[in-house]
Amino acid sequence: MEESPTEKGYKTIQDPIHGLIKLDKDTLKLIDTPQFQRLRGIKQLGFAYLVYPGANHTRFEHCIGTMHLAKILAQKLKLGQEVVISALLHDIAHPPFSHSCEGLLRDHMIDHESIEMAVRGELREELDNLGFSLKELKKIISGEEESIVCGDVDVDRMDYLVRDAYYTGVAYGIFDISRLMDKIRFENGLVVEEGGIRAVESMLISRFLMYPSVYYHHVCRIATKMFERAMERIVKKGLRIEELFEMDDSDAIMLLKMHEPEFYSMLRNRRLFKRAVYVGRESVDFREVMKVDEKRAERKIAEMAGIDEKYVIVDIPEVEEVREFSIRVEIGEKIRRIEEVSALVRALRSSWMENWRLGVYTKKEFLEEIKRCAIEYFGIDKSVQRKLFVDSSSNSWIP
């Protein structure tokens, strides 16, 4: 982002996704606080840069881009300024490496507490001075109240899909934001006019394709889990959870270097764990697997294999709610859910879980033993069609 001199109370920045973005003086006061500036040091996609070298964009520019879209849509729908400010601050509570510490936060607090911890100091003072209620902002950010910031169709998702596609070079993440926004109106909630249905379908296709290629790429999952487990051990050594909201990625890496040098070295040099098992839901008792506690499974599999449990990572991704399937669309004089009127959306819903994978990861030298123990522990169905593949010169098992 290239910044230009302030003119008439505004600053104009050049954004690669949305072009020129104007920031008014009140918005600038919030952006210029240390709490918001911290986001410059937090990568939007965590460890995705290990797969896509261009994925070094940060939460800072994503938040500004989201605010820009919110401002356009708020003017169209005649919404208040608190919606725009909520869009700007919607990721203020992200810890280092974005989603990589989410499990750690869940174990210690609930979402609204993390927002409370992140909005402090100068940022809290500026919000108070500008007359914004943190309580009301939290309702919008958390989705407690449906809004264009967090809802079935929201500006957060519009920005990150296109921005992530741009910086990773994964072109199929791009869709027509302008068309979609032009067809949104408010009628007892957000409604997309009939002319915007294709834009909604395009957004859903983008999200469907970005998940296995970027967000749930196995290298990203492995690095994320390695970082998360290392940070959990650092917390047990005395790191206070609230300190995460003062840190960016480089601060966290320095913590790893001091307290978890082995995992620091593996992440720093891309010498990551490998896939011992990587299977879809058809290979397991899916409902039972979703009840499994990852750390308990890690301890048991490590015990069965006779190795240190820190060298076993079990990855059971949560089943994410896809709110876009409930987007309301106008057909003639009726309002209906998009999956009721779009065969494409119905097909996407039925295919969504195809991207889900149970992963068990370990160091290369332990692959064969961990594979055997994990298959036994999870009762993986060997009758399912499957194949062996080579993961860094070692056999791993995948359906």
Cβ-based neighbour number of residue 130 at 10 Å: 13
Which amino acid, residue 73? L
Q: Which residue has the tokens 């920031």?
A: 23
What angle separates helix 134-142 from helix 111-118, to the nearest 10 degrees? 130
Residue 384: per-residue pLDDT = 52
Q: Please tell me the distance from the alpha carbon of residue 54 to that of residue 98, in angstroms, as a whole number.
A: 17
Question: Do 44 and 161 belong together in one domain?
Answer: yes
Domain boundary among 216, 251, 286: 216
**Residue 150, domain member (yes or no):** yes
Same domain (yes/no): 283, 181: no
- Residue 111 confidence (pLDDT): 57
Tokens representing 242 are 């609230």
Q: Do 46 and 187 fall within a single domain?
A: yes
Q: Are 200 and 176 in contact (CB under 8 A)?
A: no
> Nearest Cα to 236, choosing from 253, 260, 263?
260
Nearest 5°: CA angle at 93, between 87 and 97?
Answer: 110
Q: Which of 147, 181, 216 is the last residue of a domain?
A: 216
The answer to whether residue 337 sits within a structural domain is: no
**What phi-psi label fits residue 243: left (phi over 0), alpha (psi between -120 and 50 degrees) or beta?**
alpha
Assign residue 204 the CATH number of its domain.
Answer: 1.10.3210.10
- Please tell me the predicted confidence (pLDDT) of residue 252: 97
Spell out the residues 6+ positions from residue 106 whose beta carbon is closer than 8 angstroms to its own.
Answer: none
Place of tokens 């499990």: 103
Q: Within this chain, do residues 289 and 148 fall inside the same structural domain, yes or no?
A: no
Both 279 and 209 in one domain: the answer is no
Q: Give the C-alpha separation, 92 to 86, whole Å.
A: 10
Q: Do 29 and 162 have their domain in common?
A: yes
55 and 176 in a single domain? The answer is yes
* Domain presence at residue 77: yes
Residue recorded with tokens 């902002």: 137
Q: Which residue type occupies 13?
A: I
Strand 334-337 versus strand 387-391 pairing type: unpaired
Identify whether 374 is part of a domain: yes
DSSP-derived 3-state class of residue 317: coil
Helix (H) or strand (E) holding 43: none
Q: Are residues 21 and 139 in the same domain?
A: yes
In eight-state DSSP terms, residue 150 is S
Q: Would residue 241 count as lying in a domain?
A: no
In our burial notation (b when 16+ CB lie closer than 10 A, e otherwise), range 87-125 reads bbbbbbbbbbbbbbbbbbbeeeeebbebbbbbbbeebee
Judging by beta carbons within 10 Å of its beta carbon (0-12, 13-18, 19+), is residue 141 exposed, middle or buried?
Answer: buried
Which residues are 21's β-sheet partners?
13
Residues listed for the chain:
399
Is the Cα torsion angle 167, 169, 172, 176 positive or negative in sign? positive
| Residue 83 shares a structural domain with residue 183 | yes
> Identity (one letter) of the amino acid at 213?
S
Task: Tell whether 168 and 298 lie within a shared domain.
Answer: no
* Domain range for 292: 274-319+356-399
Q: Would 308 be classed as within a structural domain?
A: yes
Question: Residue 222: helix, strand or coil by DSSP?
Answer: helix
Query: Which residues sit opposite 360 in a β-bridge?
Result: 277, 314
Q: Is residue 367 part of a domain?
A: yes
| Two tokens, residue 268 | 């720093």
- Phi and psi torsions of 365, nearest 5°: -70, -15
Query: Do 205 and 281 share a domain, yes or no?
Result: no
Q: Which helix (H) or strand (E) holds 382?
A: none
Q: Which of 199, 216, 233 is the last residue of a domain?
A: 216
In a domain, residue 232? The reply is no
Number of neighbours of residue 292 by Cβ within 10 angstroms: 16
pLDDT of residue 399: 42
Q: What is the DSSP letter of 10?
A: E
The tally of domains found in the chain comes to: 2
Rg of the chain taking only CA atoms, in angstroms: 22
* Tokens 């609930």 found at: 110
CB hemisphere CA count around 134 (13 angstroms): 17
Average pLDDT across each block of 10 residues of the chain; the chain has 399 residues. List them in order: 58 96 96 98 97 98 98 95 97 90 75 77 96 92 87 93 97 91 90 95 94 94 97 94 93 97 98 97 93 97 98 93 87 92 92 92 97 95 49 45
Half-sphere exposure of 286 (CA within 13 A, CB side): 12
Alpha-carbon span 375 to 276, nearest angstrom: 9
- Return all residues near 234 (Cβ < 8 A) that are at least 6 apart: 255, 256, 259, 260
